[in-house]
Each structure stands twice: as C-alpha cells, then as structure tokens.
Amino acid sequence: MSASLNIAPANGGERKCHVCLPTAPPVIKGKSIFLAGSIDMGMAVNWQTAITSKLAHLPVTILNPRRDDWTWDWVQDISNTVFRDQVEWELDCQDRADVIAMYFDKNGKAPISLLELGLYAASGKMVVCCPEGFWRRGNVQIVCKKYGIKLVDTIDDLVECVVGKLGQVSEK
C-alpha cells in the first residue's frame, strides 16, 4: 500500500486525488502526475503542497517525492539503501507517470531536477515552470524549446498546463 497525504482542494470542493509518497510502491489510480523539481530542503518553497491543493479536485494520482524525514546526513551513494530507495522510487514514478510537472524555485539550485529535465525532456510528458531569477533559467529555456516542452513562469500556469496535458492522456 502506498503512503498518502491528505490535502484539501484549494476551492474547498471534494478531494478526489490520490497522493503517493516515497518509498512505498505507488498505487496509481487513473491518470498520474509526478511532481518533479526544486526541493533543496529549506531553500525552495513547498510548492508540492500548493500544486496538490490546486489539483485535489481531480480524480488523479499525484506522485510526490518530497519527504519530511529527508536529511543531508544520508550518504549519497548506491550502497545506502535509504538513499537508493528514494532515488529509485523517483525514477520509477517518473517512468510510470502520465505527466511530469517540474518546478524550478528561483531561490534554489535544483541540480537533480536539472538532471531529471535532461532524462525526461524527450518523453513528451513534461510541463515546466521556471520563473525569472532561477540561476540556470537559460539552460531550462533552451531544453524546453528544443524538445517542445511547455514552459511557464508561475505555479498557477503550471497547474493549467498539467490539466491540459492530462486531457491529452488516454483513459486507463
């Protein structure tokens, strides 16, 4: 069974989404969205909660990699099973997701998110938010242009793009 998070819809309506958290195997119900992007533990805003609230009224599965128990003390090596399980969960979920919503916080560095942008740019399932001020915005703009990825400046625009992209996905 997958771990889940209870977030009410931003509009106060009925919550229909199912949220999966690491590292339990996700149970995907219907169409799915992976929330890729800045975490930077303390540097980036918790945008995952904001976007989940805005999408909570939809009957979708949201795959959220943010975990409150993450610590920078973890040895970032394949031999560390806690670290490896997290990274493998994220990669597996991105492979399985119908849509990958990526957000670059202007106050963070997000090196892993930049790596993931490169990994999934050609997948056809990405939408990206990269506000002015992000330290590698030019690189993000060029990758998005090359691969035809919709690039926006705000979380509200990202939500709109996610909903549009979900509309292009066949029912399961």
Q: Which residues pair with 120 in a beta bridge?
A: none
Higher-confidence position of 119 and 45: 119
Identify whether 13 is part of a domain.
Answer: no
Q: What is the distance between the alpha carbons of residues 55 and 65, in angstroms, rounded to a whole number?
A: 16
* pLDDT greater than 50 at residue 2: no
Neighbouring C-beta atoms of residue 13, cutoff 10 Å: 10
In sequence order, what E strands does 49-95 have? Answer: 60-63
The CATH number assigned to the domain holding 28 equals 3.40.50.450
Segments forming the whole domain that contains residue 24? 18-167
Identify whether 119 is part of a domain.
Answer: yes
Q: Say whether 122 sits in a helix, a strand or coil.
A: helix
**Torsions phi, psi of 4, nearest 5?**
-140, 165
Higher-confidence position of 121 and 9: 121
What is the per-residue pLDDT across 89-105, written as a single tens digit (0 to 9) for each?
999 999 999 999 999 99
Identify whether 9 is part of a domain.
Answer: no
Identify whether 47 is part of a domain.
Answer: yes
Average confidence (pLDDT) over 98-124: 97
Identify whether 10 is part of a domain.
Answer: no
Higher-confidence position of 67 and 147: 147
Q: What percent of the chain has pLDDT over 70?
A: 90
pLDDT of residue 10: 57
- The total number of structural domains in the chain stands at 1
Identify whether 91 is part of a domain.
Answer: yes
Q: Which residues pair with 126 in a beta bridge?
A: 100
Identify whether 11 is part of a domain.
Answer: no
What is the per-residue pLDDT across 18-51, written as a single tens digit (0 to 9) for each?
999 999 999 999 999 999 999 876 677 889 999 9
* Average pLDDT, rounded, for the chain: 91
Identify whether 39 is part of a domain.
Answer: yes
Nearest to 42 by CA among 65, 23, 63, 66: 66
Q: Residue 9: pLDDT band by 50, 70, 90 thresholds?
A: low
